[in-house]
Structure formats: C-alpha cells, structure tokens
C-alpha cells in the first residue's frame, strides 16, 4: 500500500512540475484525475480524499507559480481543472462505497444462506438419526424380553443385539456424513466433486423423494471434473432447486413425478448442472421474475430460494437460468468453474 501511495505521489509531483513549467493555456492539472482514479481503485477512501486535497492544493500552487501565458485563459483552465478533480473524486468515492455496500450485503446473504443450510441439515440429521435410535430402543426391549424368558432365548436375543448394532452404525454414518460437510466448509471454496454434492443434497431429501413417489434420474458421468466452490453453498443451491422441484412435482399426480439431475463438463472451463422436473412448470411471463428476491407463487414461500441460488452461483463466477423443460415442467441450469486441483473426495 505504501508503495502504491508513493507511486501516486510521484505521478502527482510530475504533473505538478509540468503544470508549473507550462503556460497557463495548457491545463496539465486535469491529469490529477488519473491519480485520483487510481487511488480510489487501489487505496482506502481516506487516502483518496487526502490525495484529492493535495491535487487541489498543487493545482492552485502551480497556478500561482506559472509565469507565462494568458492569465484569463489560465483562470478558466484552473476552474475546469478544479471542477474535474472534485467531480472525479466524488464519483469515484461514491462508486467505491457502493461496491463495498454490495459486498457487505452479499456477505450477509451468504451468512444467512449458510445458516439456513446448516439449520436444514440439523433438522434432517435429527430426522435421520431418530429413526435408527427408535429402532435401537425397540430391539433393546425385545432383547430384554428374550433374556427374561425361562429358559432365556439367547438366539433371538442375539438377533436383537445384532439389529441394534446395525442401527447404531446407520446413525453414526449419518453423523459422519454431516461432519464431513461441515469440516470441509472451513476451507471454503475448494475442489468439490459434483456427484458428491448432489448425493449429499439428495440424502437430505431422501425421505421426501420416497414419500412423494418421485422417480429420480441421475446423469452423472464418471469422469466429471471437480468444481471450485464452497461445498455448503453448493449444497444450498442444489437444495433450493431440488426443493422447488419437489414443490412443483406435488402439483401433478404421483405417476407423473420425475426429477432429473445431470452434470456435464462444458469443455469451456465450466461444469454445467441441470435440475429438471416434470412438475407444474413456469409460465413464459414468470421467467423474468423468478430470480427476484421475494417473488413467489407459493402461499408459504419466502421467494428467496432462487435469489440466493443466483447470488451464490454468480459469486463463484458462474451463471444460472430457468427454462421450461422439454415436455412439461421446469429446468434450472447453472454452471460453475472447474477446479484446478483434484477434488478432496
């Protein structure tokens, strides 16, 4: 930072010398604009303000020291230079502040996205772990009953104990899976295998998919490249799209419910994801609004799912779009840059 400040000061000194030595008619002072623009892009706002004040001071000093040329023209040039410097500094600082505000909003949104994703995960862990726990409790009381018999039925008791063991393994697998995701998250963005992210997301919706009798089609080639993404945020995007697909599928009869998830390498440094459902579909006049925050057609919808998905995808350098699916339903497609390292899993 100090180096950049020194470089800009040197530039300003050069402008000062040129401005002082040349005639009044030559408005060298407008070149201070370059230094101010560079400062606003490279240095903190306070330094930019100081450099702007310095530019004004140097312009006035040069004017006072200049000896040659038409004084009146010099005066007009002085006014133009000062005005240009002032307006440039004002606009540049405003642009920087707007960028910072946008960044803060995005960070807040990501924080919310992560928190809701973790909250949803917690809810589904509770659900997934509760089932084996209930089964363990049932097997345990059965086991006791077999042992209490006279004579004890050790064969049946042993079977019950084995069921308890299997269920305990199931429960700890669920927890291990969640732990893997949350730990991976510490080092966000990283190389993530698309198939892994999709399976993890689907695991969180396994119960719903089965309950709603959704036919699931996966098109995940073996040699897919890893993508460069934050694993939790990628799961958040996929989870929002799968959640929307399930909502749309609920509006059609069970026999017509298909969810298709596909990924292929685009060959352009991106991996292309598509989440396609055979649900109620999107009207052509709705397509432009879909990604707007708070836009929803659902009674209990927040209208944030797609807005969050889009902000995550674009922050990763990708794009997302919605299309009517071939036949019936909706297709949500997004792309993420391929990672330069090998995936972690």
Binding site for ligand ADP (CB under 6 A): 240, 244-245, 248, 277, 279-282, 290, 295-298, 301-307, 330
Nearer CB in complex with Mg ion: 88/244? 244
Q: Taking CB within 5 to 8 Å according to partner kind, which of Mg ion, ligand ADP, none is near residue 298?
A: ligand ADP
- Distance set, CA 21 to CA 62, 80, 91 (Å): 8, 19, 30
Which of 15/309 has CB closer to Mg ion? 309
Q: Which residues contact 342 (CB under 8 A, 6 or more apart)?
A: 191, 226
Residue 54 near residue 35, CB atoms below 8 Å: no
Q: Token pair for residue 163? A: 């069921």
Which of ligand ADP, Mg ion, none is residue 279 near (CB under 5 to 8 Å by kind)?
A: ligand ADP
Nearer to Mg ion, 62 or 244 (CB): 244
User: Which two structure tokens, joined as six digits, stand for 313?
Assistant: 């995808």
Residue 296 interacts with which of ligand ADP, Mg ion, none, CB < 5 to 8 Å by class: ligand ADP
- Least distance in angstroms from the C-beta of 195 to ligand ADP: 21
C-beta of 48 vs 244, nearer to Mg ion: 244
**Applying CB under 5 A, which residues contact Mg ion?**
244, 305
If you search the block for the tokens 């999709």, which residue do you land on? 198
Rounded to the nearest whole angstrom, what is the least distance from the CB of residue 123 to ligand ADP in the complex? Answer: 17
Residue 305 or 329 with smaller CB distance to Mg ion: 305
Rounded CA-CA distance 20/28 in Å is 9
CB 229 within 8 A of CB 192: yes
Interacting partner of 280 out of Mg ion, ligand ADP, none (Cβ under 5 to 8 A depending on kind): ligand ADP
Beta-bridge mates of residue 333: 274, 321
> What gap in Å lies between CA 70 and CA 270, rounded to an integer?
61
Of 35, 38, 45, nearest to 14 (Cα)?
35
Smallest distance, ligand ADP to C-beta of residue 101, A: 23
| Rounded Cα gap, residues 266 and 272, in angstroms | 6
List phi, psi (to 5°) of 50: -60, -45
In 189-250, alpha helices (H): 194-204, 206-211, 231-249
* Shortest distance, position 175 Cβ to Mg ion, whole Å: 27
Distance of CA 229 to the CA centre of its chain: 8
Instruction: Give min distance, CB of 303 to ligand ADP, in A.
Output: 4
Three-state SS for 277? Answer: strand
Instruction: Give the nearest distance from C-beta 288 to ligand ADP in angstroms.
Output: 11
Name the residue with the smallest CB distance to ligand ADP. 305
* Nearest-approach distance from CB 290 to ligand ADP, in angstroms: 5
Pick from ligand ADP, Mg ion, none: which does 277 bind, CB < 5 to 8 A by kind? ligand ADP
Work out what residue 282 binds among ligand ADP, Mg ion, none; the CB cut-off runs from 5 to 8 Å by kind: ligand ADP
How far is Cα 30 from Cα 7, in angstroms, rounded to an integer? 18
Residue 246: contacted member of Mg ion, ligand ADP, none (CB under 5 to 8 Å, by partner type): none
Closest residue to Mg ion using C-beta atoms: 305
């Amino acid at each position: 930072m100090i180096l950049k400040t020194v470089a800009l000061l040197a530039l300003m000194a050069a402008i000062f010398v040129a401005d002082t030595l040349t005639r009044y008619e030559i408005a060298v002072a407008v070149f201070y604009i370059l230094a101010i623009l560079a400062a606003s892009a490279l240095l903190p706002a306070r330094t930019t303000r100081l450099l702007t004040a310095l530019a004004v001071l140097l312009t006035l000093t040069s004017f006072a020291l200049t000896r040659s040329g038409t004084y009146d023209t010099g005066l007009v040039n002085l006014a133009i230079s000062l005005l240009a410097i002032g307006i440039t500094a004002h606009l540049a600082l405003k642009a920087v502040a707007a960028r910072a505000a946008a960044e803060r909003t995005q960070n807040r949104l990501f924080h919310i996205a992560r928190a809701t994703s973790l909250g949803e995960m917690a809810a589904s862990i509770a659900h997934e772990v509760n089932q084996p726990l209930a089964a363990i409790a049932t097997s345990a009381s059965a086991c006791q009953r077999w042992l209490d018999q006279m004579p004890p039925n050790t064969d049946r008791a042993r079977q019950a104990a084995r069921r308890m063991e299997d269920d305990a393994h199931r429960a700890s697998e669920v927890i291990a899976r969640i732990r893997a995701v949350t730990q991976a998250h510490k080092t966000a963005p990283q190389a993530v295998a698309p198939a892994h992210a999709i399976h993890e997301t689907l695991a969180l919706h396994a119960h719903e998919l089965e309950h709603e009798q959704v036919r699931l089609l996966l098109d995940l080639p073996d040699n897919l490249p890893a993508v460069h993404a934050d694993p939790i945020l990628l799961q958040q995007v996929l989870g929002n799209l799968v959640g929307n697909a399930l909502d749309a599928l609920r509006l059609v009869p069970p026999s017509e419910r298909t969810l298709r998830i596909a990924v292929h390498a685009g060959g352009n440094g991106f991996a292309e994801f598509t989440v396609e459902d055979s649900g109620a579909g999107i009207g052509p006049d709705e397509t432009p609004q879909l990604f707007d925050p708070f836009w929803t057609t659902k009674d209990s919808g927040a209208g944030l799912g797609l807005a969050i998905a889009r902000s995550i995808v674009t922050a990763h350098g990708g794009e997302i779009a919605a299309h009517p699916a071939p036949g019936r339903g909706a297709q949500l497609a997004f792309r993420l840059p391929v990672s330069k390292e090998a995936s972690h899993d």
